[in-house]
Amino acid sequence: MERTFSYRRQEVVQDKPLVADFKSRWPALFEMSEINREFMRITTVPLTSKFLSQLDECSDQLVKVFINKGGAAGKEIRSTIAVMDRSDDIEVRRECILKCLCTYLHEDSGKLVGEYLSSDIAEAKKKIAET
């Protein structure tokens, strides 16, 4: 992280490195704490709290959109919303909204929401790399 944001940006725009090359040159930018720090440095806005507050603010409108989804995705979304409705926990609500968004966009929610509680660090890093 010795280089400035503008230097890294210039390198990305001009050299157009592959993600694997970029990841090997700037591995810290693929760690949550460094992403948060870099975002804060560039924008002076705390990324995680801003994202979560905006997610909370938009969640009711998102649910309205999700409910109108038909087909198999709609059924999966409605079952996820049912889980959300049974809980008052804000963390459960956020997780359900993000899972519904993944389903709505035909993405694999298993790769978005993951907890790495394994004591095996190598296994946890492997799973993180798959996301």
pTM greater than 0.75 (yes/no): no
The number of beta carbons lying within 10 Å of the beta carbon of residue 93 is: 19
Distance CA 100, CA 87 (A): 16
Q: What is the pLDDT of residues 8-62, one digit of tens each?
A: 788 888 888 888 888 888 787 788 888 888 889 889 999 999 999 999 999 999 9
For residues 67-88, average pLDDT: 93
Q: Which pLDDT band, with edges at 50, 70 and 90, does 120 fall under?
A: low
